[in-house]
Amino acid sequence: MSHTGSMSITDSIYLLMFGSGLLGGFGHCAGMCGPVVAAYTLGIGLPAGHMRTYPLPQVMYNAGRITTYSIMGGIMGMTGSFAGIAASIERFQNLTMATVGLVMVILGLASTDWCSLPKGSAGRKITAPVSAFVSRIIRFISATHTTGSVYVIGMVTGFIPCGLLYSAYIAAAGAGATAGSAAEGFLRGMSMLFLFGLGTAPALLLIGHITARKSEWIRKRLYTVSSLFMIAIGAIFIYRAFSG
Amino acid sequence: MRARHVSVLLLFVLLSSARAAICPAAECDVSRGACIALTGSTTVTLDISPKPVSAMKELFFTVTVKGAKIPAPLLLVLSMPGMYMGRNEVVLKQVSDGSFTGRGIIPRCPTGKKLWQADIALPGGGNVSYRFHVDH
């Protein structure tokens, strides 16, 4: 393999990876993952008071994401192969994307009250199991609303397929292919993706911070719109997961 | 007020001319055959195999330069028009006089976008760009 990074393995590659993450954070992630962060920060679908307005969960969410990137980068670097690894985790990535999308749709629907039908109606009998399922998911998310769980959520969402991330993995695989040993390849790939992930964090932290600061205002004025937006983004995630 | 209108008109003309100067490369069906671009009197041909050209698969890039002596290596930069996709470069090593090859991968964009751009900066002057679609 003689990909991108493989021919120019110098210390500057690490700086370039950080720069690529930083640029990509504002030029790519803000548009692609920003709505997820905003929806998550607002706590759409969760009872009032479950807004994630404090900074630690935002940091933990990003830390979880960067952990996944670093481990995957290490594996790409260790094997020196992107295409093989990417193909083997493609189904898992799509499943993750579909699951995240489904949770977003469910939480969005729950917050719009569209599922509530008059008691005893035929529609109620049909939607009752769905409502019970939705309630269970909301209870689960509310109950697991700890800093640790946010880190895990970040780790899981780190598997969502992303073209920008793929480019970083390709560079890591290229760097690993020229490494002297598998361990060196792992370290190279892991360091590269760690710095790349770190570079993407400011943009998402900024979105989280702005959303958190304006959360009361958004909840009061744009809550239904935000919920609809969340449903739409969730639906797009599900579509993308199965259309790839 | 009139000066303001003139300024706006001038700005519009300037922006229009700037847009014309950075006219995007014409699209080429690289899955059917090689793409050809010209810079000055130099002809630069890009071919990608295997065909059809697919994302997430290892690809072989072949660049042939005619009309100029180009020192190796060449750098081919892959990007997606309208969407920042990170640093993705393919180093092309010289295999014979005027012929360069390298391996690389075009990532899949989960949004479904398939249009990609390859840019090659020729040492000593001249840039060529190719736009093509990849299969998902």
Contact B105 A82 (CB under 8 A): yes
Q: Which residues contact B53 (CB under 8 A, 6 or more apart)?
A: B30, B31, B59, B106, B132, B134, B135
Q: Which B-chain residues 35-74 have CB contacts (< 8 A) with chain A?
A: 56-58, 73
Supply the pLDDT for residue A242: 83
Does the beta carbon of B10 lie under 8 angstroms from any beta carbon of chain A? no
Domain limits, chain A: 5-243
Rounded distance, CA B31 to CA B115, Å?
A: 12
Transcribe A85-137 into DSSP letters: HHHHHHHHHHHHHHHHHHHHHHHHHHHHTTT---TT-HHHHHHHHHHHHHHHH
Q: How far is CA B108 from the centre of its chain?
A: 17
Rounded distance, CA B89 to CA B86, Å?
A: 10
Rounded distance, CA A233 to CA B2, Å?
A: 47
pTM across the whole model: 0.76
Residue with tokens 């998902």: B136
Instruction: Evaluate the omega torsion of the peptide bond into residue B52 and state whether it is cis, within 30 degrees of 0.
Output: yes
| pLDDT tens digits, one per residue of A133-190 | 666 666 666 555 566 777 888 888 888 888 899 999 999 998 998 888 999 999 999 9
| pLDDT tens digits, one per residue of B9-62 | 444 433 333 333 344 567 899 999 999 998 888 999 999 999 999 999 999 999
Per this entry, what is the length of chain A?
Answer: 244
Pairing between β-strand B99-105 and β-strand B35-39 as defined by DSSP bridges: unpaired
Average pLDDT score over chain A: 78
Give the number of other Cβ atoms within 10 Å of residue A215's Cβ. 18
Supply the pLDDT for residue B17: 37
Query: Taking chain A, what is the end-to-end CA distance rounded to the nearest angstrom?
Result: 26
Do A152 and A53 touch, CB atoms closer than 8 A? no
Q: What is the distance in angstroms between the Cα of A194 and the nearest Cα belonging to chain B?
A: 15
Give the number of other Cβ atoms within 10 Å of residue A74's Cβ. 23
Q: What is the distance in angstroms between the Cα of B30 and the nearest Cα belonging to chain A?
A: 20
Query: What domains are there in chain B, each with its CATH number?
Result: 25-133 (2.60.40.1930)
Residue A6 has pLDDT above 60, yes or no: no
Contact B105 A23 (CB under 8 A): no
| pLDDT tens digits, one per residue of B54-69 | 999 999 999 999 988 8
Instruction: Evaluate the omega torsion of the peptide bond into residue B50 and state whether it is cis, within 30 degrees of 0.
Output: yes
Supply the pLDDT for residue B126: 85
Q: What is the distance in angstroms between the Cα of B5 and the nearest Cα belonging to chain A?
A: 33
